[in-house]
Amino acid sequence: MQFPSPVSISWIADLIQAKTVGNTGASATGINELHKVEKGDLVFVDHPKYYDTCINSAASFIIINKETMVPEGKALLIVDNPFEAYCKIVDQFRPFEPSSKMISDSAVIGEGTFLYPNVFAGNHVRIGKNCIIHPNVTIMDHCIIGDRVIIQAGTVIGSNAFYYNGNKDRELWYKRMPSCGRVIIEADVEIGAGCTIDRGVSHDTFIGQGTKMDNMIHIGHDTIIGKNCLIAAQVGIAGVVTLEDGVILWGQVGVSKTLTIGANAVVYAQSGVVGNLEGGRSYFGSPVQDAKEKTKELVWVKRIPELWDKVMGK
């Protein structure tokens, strides 16, 4: 999440009652979780396993629970509970806003766009021109819809991310991280019925121009889907996934988190993707393999009884 304008580290330190070390005279431009940090961002870390990764990431400012070495130009904000400090900053800049109307007064609806009955458009939503939004679609706060987008009935855009801070030393092991990111949908996208697209935890979930989605699809937080992708029914995509341009996922494909599928790759139905895939190839199986090699393997598996009979002399 980008702040409306740069915020001084000294002001943030006062807000979260932090001790500061390093470049304390600088200003932060946003707050992000580790997978999406950029220069100028605040990030938090509360486990020694991730100290080095976090401190040496693109983030300029680190909320941490231990004083340690800090690279030149960066700053540490030292607190007892970095997660709670992170949540306090998010709540300060993206507070909960109740809605009492189906179409918020702060929503902007483009010329020529038609909203069927029972569409909900939350606070600060922007919908482009000549869109068709079918009944019972929910578009949550701050989401952005481009021109000529079609969204079928019952779809939810911008639901909270399935993303939790885990700590087994407390009564509640899992505490939800507040989702301050958005969903951004570019022009000429079509989304089927009953889909759920989670907002980013602290960055944006993004769907590129011309992508077409079938019914009953789930897109996880902070996922980036490129232009002109084709996604069939019942596909599930976890968080922080990148689908490059032209990717095709057929029905019931499952995609694990934090991976990339290269441009123009095709994944056949009911396959499971657990790692990065090279573009321009076809894949099948769970876990996926090159489709031609997997097909050969299945042919040989079917021949096992025949080969066994030959070996046994039957």
Which CATH number covers residue 203?
A: 2.160.10.10
Which CATH number covers residue 79?
A: 3.40.1390.10
Q: Same domain for 74 and 169?
A: no
Q: Same domain for 60 and 112?
A: no
Q: Same domain for 80 and 142?
A: no
Q: Same domain for 42 and 145?
A: no
Q: Which two tokens stand for residue 86?
A: 């992170």
Per-residue pLDDT reduced to its tens digit, 160-184: 999 998 888 889 999 999 999 999 9
Instruction: Give the domain-ending residue among 47, 62, 93.
Output: 93
The answer to whether 195 and 156 are in contact (CB under 8 A) is: yes
What is the domain range of residue 210? 108-294
Q: Is the pTM of this model over 0.85?
A: yes
Does 70 map to a domain?
Answer: yes
Q: Same domain for 167 and 289?
A: yes
Does 300 map to a domain?
Answer: no
Q: Which residues are catalytic?
A: 221
Per-residue pLDDT reduced to its tens digit, 239-274: 999 999 999 999 999 999 999 999 999 999 999 999
Does 128 map to a domain?
Answer: yes
Give the pLDDT score at 299. 76
Q: Same domain for 79 and 117?
A: no
Beta bridge partners of 266: 248, 282
Q: How many domains does the chain have?
A: 2
Question: Using CB atoms within 10 A of its CB, is residue 153 exposed (0-12), middle (13-18) or buried (19+)?
Answer: middle
Per-residue pLDDT reduced to its tens digit, 96-129: 999 989 999 999 999 999 999 999 999 999 999 9
